[in-house]
Structure 1
């Protein structure tokens, strides 16, 4: 069931993989809806995610057509866009369920149609534009080796420099209040965004490919040490997330993508059942359920609901929230959108995905699909620049970005969090290091040296 390259699978294997995918996708959709019911129960006090049994039929009818669209993931091949697209698909699925129970007073039918259209517009290029771009600039294998060493040195420098400004180990409960006190300079904000999200995962993927376990562990440790500086949940969980993806990469990569969300989500459901039966305490249950089922999966869906409500009554931004466009576009808001939402809804700094920001906030629900389509082409560029790399390598090196894109606009992800830099690294990575399987990087170089030596001996004779 392993898929280690982009070569087509034989028909029996392909059919078996598609059967597994279809089954997993169906289970995942059911698990998402069940999870939202439990989230509505345990977080009812927020009046953000609701559930009413009398409107269950309407919610099922709202979700059913979109559930059928999951067939796209059965037939599409793995790519970076497949990885990102599945996470954003799950987010839109959650919104379509929540819209039926929403307490906000906006046109929910328009919101649902817009979300469905946005998802379709994004997935079309993200899933199916995967043709390679010819490599005109390729690093030599020794140059890549030096680059990986530089990334580890840079990561160490970022941690040491960041510790001068802030280095506090705090629990998740105290994280948000501690983060509000952060005052990092601009260069550190970029460094702490790009290094643990793009550079170190790329280095980790290279080290795993070459079976260099010590240096892979060093990359994960540096990622973990970014947490006391950045104080974000993602920097704390990212090293463990990459370890999970490493284990899942033994499966077919498309199955690994679905399992990467389905397994944590199902664990939260199992813990909720154990809590309700009295087998575990509330504290043991809520730490996982709150972080995964609520914050990671349900909250990005709820953010679309909030943004639809706010911008049904307020001016659109017309992309003025993008920093380099702000001088050229008259902006109705002086604060960042996350702060604007915090002031109006008392839910904390409410960052949101590209569906909510580049879509709803920028041009409204009617034109949002066109803006999201453009975002889909950007992600498709990542597909094309990474074409020829093994799926497991793309899975690991890009593993942080699907989670980021659930809560962060695409423009911010590209620049502040380093996705554009990762695209460039994929483009210049020598494909020869993967030609003979894991660990071939060093063997290929040694074999070339041995061949040259033998040729010299032959010529001298």
Structure 2
């Protein structure tokens, strides 16, 4: 690929300055709130009241001070996931003002805000590299990438024997609840689709091995008829989008733009066209503005309401702990929420699960701090690697973290494996590469 023009390079450099990043983060904060106003007209579980908008605006303006951290911190894995978490918590604080659920909303809001700050401190600023006790040669690393492709192909072949169904996106929910995979296949599917293949794609693309990068995208797309998830369908497009963004912009600006641009486009098309959610513009708005961001924020609202009047889990929802302790819930929390509220399986982020559900709003900030320290291991494991490589190889992890507990993200979706892959990646691999 040719070098970007000098004008584009100059623009990218200017957008990486502290004033520009500050402006981008503040504009994104405003966009998040405006998007939620429009979301409320489509989703019954998210509300808006013009008489309380000034309270919500005051809360959002005060909380947006936190976004200044993203102008001060350097890029890292923690920067990437942290900005997505910031967007989610800002959305919850906005929703919290208008919520019609009865729970201590002021306490919940303060708890969520403090939780985010305590999580961001390590994820943004703990960056010291690990001492590399294991270092692969470039040749061995190439063999590792080939092994990843082999494992991925075998996983797809085996998983497809349990389900391989080409259906329209609108019909996936008619079949998805009936899917049953053995435990080993389920774990391999999560590891390959969320971690191994995006990592391989980043390597091949930045090393100039385009045909292998294209093969990875095809393999990722094959997970859609197997898992019947929008996540699988749109992962290849998301990887390509990050490749383009990170080519035009510096990593920090790329992170902000990766949410800001899709949300702005979604809000613009739905406002200009006045379309319903069944239309093409409406489906885009539903996918990006509602499913990707608003749903993750509203999950905190619902979890706060439920656990204000129900027993806390004290982490008994974690599969390895459940047999060892009394648990008031036999079913997974997502199913409990479905049975209670009827919104479908409501998975939620670490703020709702390891936080509100496990220890309640008073202690939730402490679990957020612990989660931040764990996620900061990714900063240390990836230290010394090109920022663009870290961004692309971790492409789907922020979306995973917005929608599932941290333990599920680390184990089932292979975030811990990604940390290990970063650790063993030879730092000389990308020298003199684009």
When the two structures are superposed, what TM-score results if normalisation uses the length of structure 2? 0.95
SS at match of 1:100: helix
2:137 matched to which residue of 1? 140
2:259 matched to which residue of 1? 261
2:195 matched to which residue of 1? 198
SS at match of 1:69: helix
2:411 matched to which residue of 1? 415
Residue of 394, 397, 400 corresponding to 1:398: 394
> Which aligned pairs between 1:54-453 and structure 2 lie closer than 5 A?
54-250=51-247, 251-276=249-274, 283-438=279-434
Q: Distance in 2 between matches of 1:281 and 1:51?
A: 18
Is contact 2:14–2:20 with CA below 8 Å preserved after alignment?
A: no
**Cα shift at 1:282:** 5.2
**Cα shift at 1:15:** 8.9
**Cα shift at 1:73:** 0.2
Is contact 1:201–1:397 with CA below 8 Å preserved after alignment?
A: yes
After superposition, the Cα gap between the structure-2 partners of 1:14 and 1:34, relative to the gap in structure 1 and judged at 3 Å, is closer
Is contact 1:275–1:282 with CA below 8 Å preserved after alignment?
A: no
Q: Distance in 2 between matches of 1:69 and 1:190?
A: 36
Q: Distance in 1 between matches of 2:153 and 2:360?
A: 43
Q: Distance in 1 between matches of 2:401 and 2:197?
A: 18
**Cα shift at 1:329:** 2.2
* Uncovered stretches (5+) of structure 2, i.e. residues with no partner: 1-12
**Cα shift at 1:435:** 2.6
Q: Distance in 1 between matches of 2:61 and 2:309?
A: 29
**Cα shift at 1:436:** 2.4
Is contact 1:318–1:329 with CA below 8 Å preserved after alignment?
A: no
After superposition, the Cα gap between the structure-2 partners of 1:275 and 1:15, relative to the gap in structure 1 and judged at 3 Å, is closer
Q: Distance in 2 between matches of 1:196 and 1:235?
A: 7
Q: Distance in 2 between matches of 1:226 and 1:83?
A: 25
**Cα shift at 1:267:** 0.8
Q: Distance in 2 between matches of 1:376 and 1:177?
A: 37
Q: Distance in 2 between matches of 1:400 and 1:288?
A: 18
Is contact 1:224–1:235 with CA below 8 Å preserved after alignment?
A: yes
- Structure 1 runs of 4+ off > 6 angstroms? none
**Cα shift at 1:177:** 2.3
SS at match of 1:243: helix
**Cα shift at 1:14:** 7.9
Is contact 2:16–2:252 with CA below 8 Å preserved after alignment?
A: no
**Cα shift at 1:281:** 9.0
**Cα shift at 1:67:** 0.6
Q: Distance in 2 between matches of 1:437 and 1:115?
A: 42
Is contact 2:277–2:286 with CA below 8 Å preserved after alignment?
A: no
* Uncovered stretches (5+) of structure 1, i.e. residues with no partner: 1-12, 439-461
1:20 matched to which residue of 2? 20
Is contact 1:242–1:396 with CA below 8 Å preserved after alignment?
A: yes
SS at match of 2:315: coil
Q: Distance in 2 between matches of 1:216 and 1:437?
A: 15
Q: Distance in 2 between matches of 1:355 and 1:246?
A: 30
When the two structures are superposed, what TM-score results if normalisation uses the length of structure 1? 0.89
Q: Distance in 1 between matches of 2:201 and 2:324?
A: 40
**Cα shift at 1:16:** 5.8
Is contact 1:208–1:216 with CA below 8 Å preserved after alignment?
A: yes
Q: Distance in 2 between matches of 1:124 and 1:366?
A: 19
SS at match of 2:400: helix
> Which aligned pairs between 1:20-39 and structure 2 lie closer than 5 A?
20-39=20-39
After superposition, the Cα gap between the structure-2 partners of 1:151 and 1:69, relative to the gap in structure 1 and judged at 3 Å, is same
How many pairs were matched up? Answer: 421
Give a deviation string over 1:357-407, Cα, whole Å, max 9, x none.
000000000000001110000110110000000000000111110001000
